[in-house]
Amino acid sequence: MKLAILSRNSKLYSTQRLVEAARVRGHTVRVLDPLRCYMRIEPGAFSMHYKGREMSDYDAVIPRIGASVTFYGTAVLRQLEMMGVYTPNASDAILRARDKLRCHQLLAREGIGLPRTVFGDNPDDTADLLAMLGRPPHVIKLNEGTQGAGVILAERASASQSVIEAFRGLYANFLVQEFIAEAKGADVRCFVVGGRVVAAMRRQARRGEFRSNLHRGGTAKAVELDADETETAIRAARVLGLNVAGVDLLRSRRGPLVLEVNSSPGLEGIEGATGEDVAGAVVDYIDGRVRRARRIARRAL
Ligand SMILES: Nc1ncnc2c1ncn2[C@@H]1O[C@H](COP(=O)(O)OP(=O)(O)OP(=O)(O)O)[C@@H](O)[C@H]1O
Ligand SMILES: [Mg+2]
């Protein structure tokens, strides 16, 4: 197949591994910077150019769209979808996953476990908002935060109040969660491809830290999931409509709780910790879908 990878940086580990996995399997692959893709929107005449050349004949695209280019990146992806190019993660699914509040609402509606979460807008409501959450400790999270930055543990309600006031002063969006103490500074990243968990790792925070992010000094090891965890990860990806997803879970007394579903999960940490060929699993899944679509199209002739 002819495969495009939408990525701002062809030198990133994840991008390079996907290119390598595709080439090893005999596919043609190109890395395209989404910000250099431009398009014509016209009934029956969608067109996309890349650095002066028409983009045609792509069978599939792997979107690796960073948070900072979500809007333009998903517009490029949507154009490719309309031109009949297969993507494991549709533009709408990526947008769903990027919106943390929406993501939590959709998962909770399906009965998928989450840390209890509250959010609100007006400072006059903060005390009642925290009462809706329950007793501290609380975890306060900036919506735009990533890699553990902007995730704060408040041991007392007065601390929660001050942090929330400070965030509000900066016009930052945030949500507040119950603190899952029994997770003991660890979370589990499940890499889901096509409704299967292809690799899983447990990230443990360093001593004195509750955030397990590798960027905050956490360490990662391969982990065996139990049936409940496997099912939760698969369901969370399915609810958001993602065929490639990184689902982060906390192990709690009441079972696995979803922290986040990532639509462009990195490959370096998970391949390093587990030794699995995750890039290969992604490419093989896409290849299977493209072949299936071709078979169906042939039969319809
Ligand atoms: N409610 C919670 N209870 C206990 N620990 C938590 C809770 N929320 C987050 N943590 C810990 O803090 C870490 C960082 O939180 P989280 O993953 O939500 O934010 P992030 O990594 O900055 O953002 P994102 O994963 O959305 O890019 C988690 O990996 C987990 O170890
Ligand atoms: Mg995280």
Q: What is the pLDDT of residue 268?
A: 97
**Of 83 and 301, the one with more pLDDT:** 83
Question: For 90-112, what is each residue's pLDDT tens digit?
Answer: 999 999 999 999 999 999 999 99
pLDDT at 71 over 80: yes
Containing 60, the helix (H) or strand (E) segment is: strand 60-63
Q: Residues near ligand 1 with C-beta < 6 Å? A: 115, 139, 141, 145-148, 151, 177, 179-180, 183, 187, 205, 210-213, 248, 250, 259-260
Distance CA 282, CA 62 (A): 9
Q: 258 C-alpha to center of ligand 2: Å?
A: 11
pLDDT of residue 283: 98
| Mean pLDDT, residues 50-55 | 95
Res. 294 pLDDT band, cuts 50 70 90: very high
Residue located via tokens 């119950």: 178
* CA atoms of 97 and 80, how far apart (whole Å): 20
Q: Measured in angstroms, how far is the CA atom of residue 211 from the centroid of ligand 1?
A: 6
Residues in the chain: 301
Give me the pLDDT at residue 114, please: 98
Instruction: Report pLDDT for 86.
Output: 98
Query: What pLDDT, in 10s, does the model give residues 168-211?
Result: 888 888 999 999 999 999 999 999 999 999 999 999 999 999 99
CA distance 83 to 132: 47
Please report the atom of ligand 1 found closest to the CA of residue 100. 26
Q: CA-to-CA distance for 259 and 177, rounded, in angstroms?
A: 10
What burial class does residue 68 get, using C-beta atoms within 10 Å of its C-beta: 0-12 exposed, 13-18 middle, 19+ buried?
exposed
Distance 179 CA to ligand 2 centre (A): 14
Burial 16-48 (b: 16+ CB within 10 A, else e): bbbbebbeeeebebebbbbeebebeeeeeeeeb
